[in-house]
Chain A
Amino acid sequence: PALAKENNCLNAAKACNLNDTCKKYRSAYISPCTSRVSTAEVCNKRKCHKALRQFFDKVPPKHSYGMLFCSCPLGDQLACSERRRQTIVPACSYEDKEKPNCLALQASCKTNYICRSRLADFFTNCQPEPRSLSGCLKENYADCLLSYSGLIGTVMTPNYLRSPKISVSPFCDCSSSGNSKEECDRFTEFFTDNGCLRNAIQAFGNGTDVSVWQPMPPV
């Protein structure tokens, strides 16, 4: 008789507001990310990014990942997937007036030490490996999810694309790449079509990867 489908993203938001730490840091980023500062700017992007970094730094993964990596059934577009897309308040933290070229965005990331180190972590920890069962070269989903969420609040802030399968990307594309078209495509595919990252997100959403919830015992 269960017609009422569970909305995991809504359940995660409910759980967050019932936890004092998560509730506090959630509203601490939603406020700056939704406050208009002038007629020209929808928000103060710098403050929004800083508060988003704090949210992922301070809130236990159970709650922060619960909202960022919640799983949505395929058919459910508005209630679940759109809510998941809204987690980072993309109108402020993600979208911009113009879409830059991804290699140009990468270059601008490399001029900032936080962004440079977090992007390097992401490329290391989410490196796909089709021959491994996990899909990852480093078979550790927790490290991949940590480095992916670490990009949120940098110029490389990624978000879910409106696509039937899980696909993410920073706000950039490969138009006007000139001779670097292949290099640019390789860069974007690491986000949009990365088996390791996709498996890590799905494992968390389905609750199949327990190691993300609890620290691994020392080997």
Chain B
Amino acid sequence: DRVKGQGRGCLLKEIHLNVTDLGLGYRTKEELIFRYCSGPCFDAETNYDKILNNLTHNKKLDKETPSRTCCRPVAFDDDVSFLDDSLEYHTLKKHSAKKCACV
């Protein structure tokens, strides 16, 4: 029997950043932990993904390239707030991952 993988390569990772590193246009010296999902999802692929792969390869789908299994957040981290240089508060929602899966 085949052992079915469930995307064990897709993991939650984190990096310590300045809020300005996010490139969202805020001017502040505050910092945060950004968590993201990364890793391969080959072991979680279904017949659907294999068919898409074959059809793309054999050029049966014209110009379309439908997405295959992706390592993505399935839950987001709590909101984060910070005070900017003009003393205004901002709150970011759904900015950082909490749980990952191959979807």
Contacts and interface: CB of A to CB of B under 8 A. Distances in A.
Interface string A28-50: 10110110000000000000000
A30 B91 contact: yes
Looking at chain A, what size class is its interface with the partner chain? 20 to 34
Contact of A31 (B16, B30, B79, B83): B79
29 contacts: A10-B29, A13-B30, A13-B82, A13-B83, A14-B29, A14-B30, A14-B31, A17-B30, A17-B31, A17-B32, A17-B80, A18-B16, A18-B31, A18-B32, A18-B33, A23-B32, A24-B78, A24-B79, A28-B78, A28-B79, A31-B79, A31-B91, A33-B89, A34-B91, A82-B87, A83-B83, A83-B87, A86-B87, A86-B89
Nearest to B79: A27
Most chain B beta carbons < 10 A, residue from A18, A26, A27: A27
A31 B91 CA distance: 7
Given A23-B78, A27-B78, A27-B91, A86 B33 contact: no
A18 B89 CA distance: 17
Contacts of A14: 29-31
Looking at chain B, what size class is its interface with the partner chain? 10 to 19
Interface string B77-103: 011111100010101000000000000
A20 interface: yes
Nearest to B78: A24
Interface in B1-60: 16, 29-33
**6 smallest beta-carbon distances between A and B, as pairs:** A30-B81, A27-B81, A27-B79, A24-B78, A14-B31, A34-B89
